[in-house]
A = this chain, B = another copy of it.
Amino acid sequence: MVTVKDVAKAAGVSIATVSRVVRDEANVKKDTKDLVLKVIRELNYQPNALARQMRQQSTKTVIVIVPDIGNSFFHEILFGIQDTATKYGYQILIANMNNRPDVETYYFNALLQKQVDGVISLSANIAKSLMDKVANAYPIVVACQYLDNSDMPNVTIDNISAAKKIVEYLIEQGHTHIAHLTSHPTALLYRDRFNGYISALAEHGLPIDLELVCYDEPSIEGGYRQMNNLLELGKPISAVFAAGDTMAIGALKALKNAGLKVPDDFSVVGFDDIEFSSIFEPALTTIRQPKFLIGQTAFEKLFKLMNGAPLDSLKDILDYELVIRESSGVNRHK
C-alpha cells in the first residue's frame, strides 16, 4: 500500500506537505504542489479513508434504517436522502430491518461505535426510551413514522388530516358506509389515520361502526383477508379506506375475486401512493406522500444536527396530495 510516507520520500518533501496537497490546503507553493501531485499520480497513491476517519473521528457516512427495502414506498425517500447526502459529500449506509424490530437496536450500535455520523430512521418501532437516549447524544432524525410525546427531530405529513381528506372525498362521492382497513394500532401512524377516518365520518354525521374497522398485516395478503371478512359481514358497505396502498391492492383483488366491479360496485382508496398503485388495474386512488421531499428534508435536518447548527423547527410537516384514479367513484347503489 502506498502511503503519505512513500509519496513524501519520492517527492523529497515531508509528509505534512503531502497531506496538505492531498487536502488542497492553501499554503503550499505552486511548484511543490505540482511536484507532489505528479508523484501521487506516478505512485497511484490513494489516501486511506480509514486513517483519515480515525484521525477526524468522522466517517461522513449516515445510516438509514429502512423497515423493509422490498417496500417501494421507501425507495423514493431513499432517493431524496441520497440526493441530498451526495450534495454534501456524505455516503449513506442502507440498513434493512426486514421488519424485525430487534435489528433496529443493533444498528444503533453502529452509531455508538462511531461508524456513522448520524442516523435517519424510517421506523419508530424501537423502544421510545432508547430512541430518546440516543437522540440526546447523537444526530438522529425520524422520518415517515413518529412517536407519542417524543421530541425527536421528525419529518412527516399530517396523517390525521390526510386520512380525513380522502375519507371526505369518499363521502362527497355519496358513500355513507365506509370501511377501514388498517394495521398495528401500536404504530401512531395508523392510529392517526384511524382518527382522521373517524373525524370525517363524525363531522358529516355518518354512523360509526367499529365492526367495519379491520386490522391485519400491512400487506396485499392482509388487505385481501380483511376485505373478504368485510364482505362476509353482509353489511351495506360501498367503499373502503385502506391505511396503506398494499392493503388497498389486496382489497381490490378480493373484490375482483368476489365478482364485484370497481369502481362501479365499490370504491377503494389507499394511502402512500407507492409505485405499484398507478400501474395496477384499476389504478388506485390514494394519498400521495411527498416521498422525495421527505428524504431531502430529513437529510437537511440531520446535516444541521451533525454540524451543531440550530434547527428551524424540530418537526417538519410536509404537504400531501389526494390523487384520484380509477378505483373510486360515485356511489351508484344509494
Contacts and interface: CB of A to CB of B under 8 A. Distances in A.
Contact of A93 (B47, B51, B76, B93): B93
B46 A109 contact: yes
A145 interface: no
Task: State which size class the interface on A falls in.
Answer: 35 or more
A205 interface: no
Contacts of A76: 70
Interface string A21-38: 000000000000000000
A249 interface: yes
Given A78-B96, A91-B93, A256-B281, A59 B50 contact: yes
Interface in A43-79: 46-51, 53-54, 57, 59, 69-70, 72, 75-76, 78-79
Given A70-B275, A72-B70, A220-B279, A50 B46 contact: no
A49 B275 contact: no
A113 interface: yes
A108 to B, nearest CB: 11
A13 interface: no
A46 B57 CA distance: 14
Q: How many copies does the complex hold?
A: 2
A94 interface: yes
Contacts of A328: none
A82 interface: yes
B54 A51 contact: yes
Contact of A249 (B48, B93, B94, B279): B279
A88 interface: no
Interface string A237-264: 0000000000001000100100000000
A275 B69 CA distance: 13
Contacts of A276: 276, 279
A115 interface: yes
A113 to B, nearest CB: 4
B70 A75 contact: yes
B47 A113 contact: yes
B280 A113 contact: no
A20 interface: no
Contacts of A93: 91, 93-94
Given A75-B70, A78-B96, A50 B275 contact: no
A137 B46 CA distance: 14
A275 B59 CA distance: 35
Contact of A113 (B46, B72, B114): B46
15 contacts: A1-B57, A46-B113, A46-B114, A48-B114, A49-B115, A50-B53, A50-B54, A50-B115, A69-B69, A69-B78, A70-B75, A70-B76, A78-B96, A276-B279, A281-B281
Given A50-B50, A78-B96, 13 more contacts: A1-B57, A46-B113, A47-B113, A49-B113, A50-B114, A53-B54, A69-B69, A69-B78, A93-B94, A253-B281, A276-B276, A280-B280, A281-B281
